[in-house]
Structure 1
């Protein structure tokens, strides 16, 4: 599959860099390439550890268009698999979360797989055939557990999770993320492209116009976006105003992981691309203290954060409509405020230009 052929210019006459062309945000062909070269190759936030505390606990969902599930093994390790039986391809689990016994039994023909994904019981198959339990085990998905969060990667090989996360691990070391507890979610399906959302997130040029609550809490005039292109990482920061929240640490890891960490809680967000021009925005809120006495305060804090996301979505819904309409093509990027957007879009360009890995063909 060839890379996208974006025919629009990349610079204005004055030398300013231009955005990606509008068709990149609404093209089925571009989205198919993104699925292969971005979504499958990167680690993606999938769930949190408290959902599957015990061996046999599982959580299911979709990632890059694939049905997958993660399960805690008898050894305490989280493993992940495609939600497909090796016999006839039936879905093994249909609940969002649950618990299986010693065997994960397919609801179609009752083939059984152990918690490590090995075939354990091809029930009453007949004949003399003997199945290799590893060769006929479930299709694996890479899994990693980091500080109470679970990440998956569809494509085998590539970067380890530690390498993918890069300096985030050290920079966030003294924030108590793994001692915080899930409080609530705010998920929404939105008619915007994942890149439209990323473009908006990685600049604060719009903040004074659109986010009065954020401006009251932070000194927006000192808002900065530091780019680490070698790690595909963005560090966003601004000092709190007097009476504002405690210190915080804010990261965006390409393609769409958002970590907002505080001593007292965290807002953890990602998007699941559903198609060209459509995402599911997923936001989880964790707090150090989730006692009933703190519930109302925690809820106010989460709703304050969710309101900022709502303000963003309200405006970029119109952006996405215009990107799809065929009148607006490109615009200039501010070197003062939108260098993060430029870096993000260059990461998209680079990823889509990167050829797929060579396929080893047996002699």
Structure 2
């Protein structure tokens, strides 16, 4: 945590300290209007776009706690349908069970086929909004710390969304681009249009860039343009909304597109798109808007690649953002900063890392009772697994052993019989046919 302690002003060797008396309320801070500020706003430091420690903290502070837009119920039209997704190393499926209910479950990343009876062990919180979009929350608690209403209430009640007949769309295709850029650069790019006139000439067909504005509400950002009568006649009346942290929806008469920025490391991300077609639109009308957006998104990819290279070369450290022209980017970066700071303060106070997505031992016991049977010794091994930070090594396994009734090996024998026995057990589970048994342990190392 030395990098994080240094950034947040604690010093590398500082002992855990109490949280500040006043912690900024992330959610109340969102609706503020950055244009009221008389001076520029300092951007996030360059180190936040390359640091492994910061990436891991974002995984704990943001992606393990916030509601994440993932897909639409049109993607799962039949009972038994399922789709695989990932975010920051968490792999999961969203499925429609035999009763027609939408559910989500953690899975092993190598799972080839999903069967809810065999693999539906560790459930994930889900929410379907009024427009049919499916959200998940990876918080491992009985109830997420951040509720749906606190985070996103009203996002599906936007008056402008009622212009579209959501029953007329059907899933068409998915496409993606992977590149060497931090996920936040993609969020920065999408939420400001300072660069649009030069970088995205196609956008002149969609909106009047001179009147383009954004309005933040809670954890979503509404984008507004002023389409001309000709644009509307061509089906180019667009309603874009960005949902913090990493997704957006752009809807028009002829299609809608879901965009997800998927972090895979501090320096790499996937831009993933699910595209839905209005079943009454002509192929020509659909392909016109679809190909236009593909060009714009590809242009954004190359902008992000260039920005990441500048960060890597030391060209950019952290500058100021324009409070009017970059209002959306300020909202986005403020959201990141507030959540990261708040979670880091909690960890300092607790003296340990806090992983909200980690499933409790009691929940594992309840969900695996009918399918997985551990011996008393294996139950102790499982406790060790959930105390190991990261992938098991002799050292961190031995530290975890000391916190259980098993006791650790002596300092001079960290590669001793107990640590070795644990690693043998892990290996045996990997090789066993009991997928649920292995899954219970494997989830500890996500």
1:56-76 deviation digits (Å, cap 9, x = unpaired): 322222233112112222322
Q: Secondary structure at the match of 2:99?
A: coil
Matches within 5 A, 1:68-147: 68-84=92-108, 93-95=111-113, 100=115, 104-105=117-118, 117=120, 138-146=121-129, 147=131
Q: Shift of the alpha carbon at 1:153?
A: 1.5
Question: Contact conserved, 2:124 with 2:137, CA < 8 A, in 1?
Answer: yes
- Given candidates 150, 170, 174, the residue that maps to 2:134 is 150
Comparing 72-81 and 159-168, the one that deviates more: 159-168
Any conservation in 2 of the 1:177–1:261 contact (CA below 8 Å)? no
Cα contact 1:177–1:265 (8 A) shared by 2? no
Matched, 1:318 2:336: no
Q: Any idea what SS the aligned residue of 1:280 has?
A: strand
Between the aligned partners of 2:207 and 2:94, the Cα distance in structure 1 is 38
Tell me the equivalent position of 1:276. 266
Query: Which structure: greater strand fraction?
Result: 1
CA 178–350 in structure 1, closer or farther in 2 if over 3 Å, else same: farther
SS at match of 2:283: helix
Structure 1 position 50, deviation (Å)? 3.2
**Matched residue SS, 1:272:** strand
Is the Cα contact below 8 Å between 1:25 and 1:277 reproduced in 2? yes
More helix by share: 2
TM-score, normalized by length of structure 2?
Answer: 0.64
Contact 2:168 2:280 in 1 (8 A): no
Map of 1:123 onto structure 2:
none
The one of 311, 324, 330 equivalent to 1:336 is 324
- Say if 1:5 and 1:240 are closer, same or farther in 2 by CA, change over 3 A: farther
Kindly indicate whether the alpha-carbon contact (under 8 Å) linking 1:69 and 1:83 is maintained by their aligned counterparts in 2.
Answer: yes
Post-superposition offset of 1:305: 0.8
Whether 2:254 is the aligned partner of 1:264: answer yes
Q: What stretches of structure 1 move > 6 A for 4+ residues in a row?
A: 357-362
Question: Any unmatched runs of 5+ in structure 2?
Answer: 10-37, 355-359, 363-446
Q: How many angstroms apart in 1 are the aligned matches of 2:59 and 2:280?
A: 37
Query: d(CA) in 2 for partners of 1:312 and 1:279?
Result: 13
CA contact (8 A) 2:39 2:323 kept: no
Q: CA deviation at 1:334?
A: 1.2
Q: 1:308 to 1:361 in 2, by over 3 A?
A: closer
Cα deviation, residue 55, structure 1: 2.9
Contact kept in structure 2, 1:55 and 1:75, CA below 8 Å: yes
Return the index of the structure with the highest Cα Rg.
2
Q: Output the TM-score relative to the length of structure 1.
A: 0.78
RMSD: 2.7
Change (3 A) 1:176 1:236: same
1:168 to 138, 155, 159: 155
1:285 matches 2:275: yes
SS in 1 for 2:43: coil
Give secondary structure in 1 for the equivalent of 2:340: helix
Runs of 5+ in structure 1 lacking a partner?
Answer: 9-13, 85-89, 106-112, 118-137
